């Protein structure tokens, strides 16, 4: 299995990502891809994080979801809710 890289997601910044949820899929915005500092001893890939934004009505539990971002997807991504901004929910996925 090929490891995902920041380059897999950079073309999707500012675009909607389809998340497979029950009872029906939802769309969230890929707001940014942020490259993180390397982890000493874990140099098999560059660490990075994805930040997603969604309307207040879209509530995702901290879980792994099948996300269709194109470019070889769908990808199984573990998403965690982070602090919201005003009426926008925010989610994060970290790859180390």
Predicted confidence (pLDDT) per residue in 46-76, tens digit: 899 999 999 999 999 999 999 987 666 788 9
Assess whether pLDDT exceeds 70 at residue 89: yes
pLDDT attached to residue 4: 86
- CA 53 from chain center: how many Å? 10
Q: Count the domains in the chain.
A: 1
Considering the domain boundaries, does residue 25 fall inside one?
A: yes
Tell me if 80 is assigned to some domain. yes
Residue 1 lies in a domain: no
Query: Does the model's pTM come out above 0.85?
Result: yes
H or E, element range at 7: helix 6-9
> Is 13 domain-assigned?
yes
42 within a domain of the structure (yes/no): yes
Could you tell me if residue 70 is inside a domain?
yes
- Dihedral of CA atoms 76, 58, 63, 10 in degrees, nearest 10, equals 40
Mean pLDDT (whole number) for 75-80:
94
Question: 29 is in which domain, residue-wise?
Answer: 6-95
Q: Is residue 75 part of a domain?
A: yes
Q: Residue 32 above 90 pLDDT? A: yes
What are 70's strand-pairing partners? Answer: none
């Amino acid at each position: 299995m090929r490891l995902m890289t920041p380059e897999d997601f950079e073309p999707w910044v500012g675009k909607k990502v389809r998340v497979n949820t029950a009872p029906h899929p939802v769309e969230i915005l890929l707001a940014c891809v942020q490259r993180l500092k390397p982890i000493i001893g874990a140099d098999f890939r560059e660490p990075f994080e994805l930040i997603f934004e969604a309307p207040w009505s879209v509530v995702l539990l901290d879980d792994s979801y099948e996300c269709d971002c194109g470019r070889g997807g769908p990808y199984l991504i573990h998403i965690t809710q982070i602090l919201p901004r005003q009426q926008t929910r925010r989610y994060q996925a970290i790859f180390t």
